[in-house]
Structure 1
Amino acid sequence: MRSVALACLEDMKAEDTVEIDLVGRTSLADAMIITSGRSQRHVGSIADKVIQEFKTRGFGNPRVEGLPACDWVLIDAGDLLVHVFRPEVRHFYNLEKIWGADRPADRLAG
């Protein structure tokens, strides 16, 4: 599923694509992909392509949020989350900082 999403993003000329491994960090998903489109139209087109390709490849119907506004579209495909942002919205929410590899490991009090 990751390779399908990444191929779609490359085909649609998505920008600054980052993949974050979430295994062992959360039960939400195994991986998160964060990418940007240049405009609302570009964000919507990228999201549409990923959604259609998931359906075509038999991954089912992902849950989708934000498609009407196209500032930030979240595609929840179960084990994979795909976030497609306009650059200024991506900068504001800064998910890479929250979920990125440079985040210190949570420590258990003991």
Structure 2
Amino acid sequence: MKDAVSHAPSEANGPDRVVAPSAIDLVITSLEDSKGEDLVSIDMKGKSALADHMVVVSGRSHRHVAAVADRLLRDLKDNGFGNCKVEGLSNGDWVLIDTGDIIVHIFRPEVRSFYNIEKMWSVGDAPDATVH
């Protein structure tokens, strides 16, 4: 029995162990896999109590925006981040997904340029905004 106990920690930390992605990594990967365009991630820590990160991305059309949002919601749920608030999914112009720690805005390009959300949150702090 002693051998089984002594081997357990090394097996748990071995190369086959799968590490769950962080929520922000999962969001970015999902949006990139869905062919979201002009993805920008803004670190909001210390700027706002609303969230730790804001992610802004474009879809090519109403249908693409809705598909990107649907895929992201499914990926979040499948990875244990399923209690998200969603607005605008039926319209497809601008979908807002709030995971609690991350706010994701998925826009059609015309709507994104009109509201220019990322500029509002990254003014004076360009190093905090990451373009993917």
TM-score norm. by structure 1 comes to: 0.91
User: Larger helix proportion, structure 1 or 2?
Assistant: 2
Return the alpha-carbon distance in structure 1 between the equivalents of residues 42 and 57 of structure 2.
11
Structural RMSD (CA): 1.3
Q: State the 1:14 CA deviation.
A: 0.4
Cα–Cα, structure 1 residues 101 and 2, in superposed 2: closer, same or farther, change >3 Å?
farther
> SS of the residue aligned with 2:106?
strand
Q: How far off is 1:96 after superposition?
A: 1.4
Cα distance per residue 1:2-25 (max 9 Å; x no partner): 111111111111000000010001
Alignment equivalent of 2:66, drawn from 34, 44, 54: 44
CA drift of 1:60 comes to 2.2
Distance 2:41 2:55 in 1: 4
Q: Per-residue deviation at 1:103?
A: 5.3
What does the per-residue CA deviation read over 1:45-101, in whole Å, with 9 as the maximum and x for residues that have no partner?
Answer: 000000011110001220000001010000000000110000000000001110015
Segments ≥4 residues shifted beyond 6 Å? none
Amino acid at match of 2:59: G
- The answer as to 2:117 corresponding to 1:64 is no
The aligned counterpart of 1:73 is 95
What is the aligned residue count? 104
Identify the match of residue 57 of structure 2 among 35, 55, 72: 35
Query: Structure 1: 5+ residue runs without aligned partners?
Result: 105-110
The code of the aligned residue for 2:116 comes to N
2:105 aligned to 61, 67, 83, which one? 83
Q: Report the TM-score, using the length of structure 2 for normalisation.
A: 0.76
